[in-house]
Amino acid sequence: MPNTESAKKRVRQNVKRNALNNWRKRQVKDQVKVFLTAVHDRDVKGAEAAFSKTVAVLDKVASTSTLHKNTVSRRKSRLHKRLKALQGAGAGATK
């Protein structure tokens, strides 16, 4: 248990920050799941729309200290790779 006033305040701040960080991470996970579902269903238009929303959420979280900018960059790169593979497969199927 914290004894000093500053330690008590630090505990309160940590609880609030932890809740906010968990909420942000949940937003990222939910949006990535929407994108991956669209990729799995081979829905090119839906995947493109979900990708843009996912990138927006990731960029917003990267501007905070919740996720590091390099972590966000790596995730965006991997998701973009999946989108390009889906678009390539979709283009090849129509020919």
Residue 88 near residue 60, CB atoms below 8 Å: no
Q: Across residues 22-44, what is the average pLDDT?
A: 97
For residue 94, pLDDT beyond 60: no
Q: How far apart are CA 58 and CA 48, in angstroms?
A: 15
Angle between helices 44-62 and 5-40 (to 10 degrees): 160
Q: Across residues 43-61, what is the average pLDDT?
A: 97
Residue 54 near residue 30, CB atoms below 8 Å: no
Q: Quick one: pLDDT band at residue 89, thresholds 50, 70, 90?
A: confident
The tokens for 1 are 């248990």
Report the 10 Å Cβ neighbour count for 7: 10
What CATH topology corresponds to 5-94?
Answer: Methane Monooxygenase Hydroxylase; Chain G, domain 1 (1.20.58)
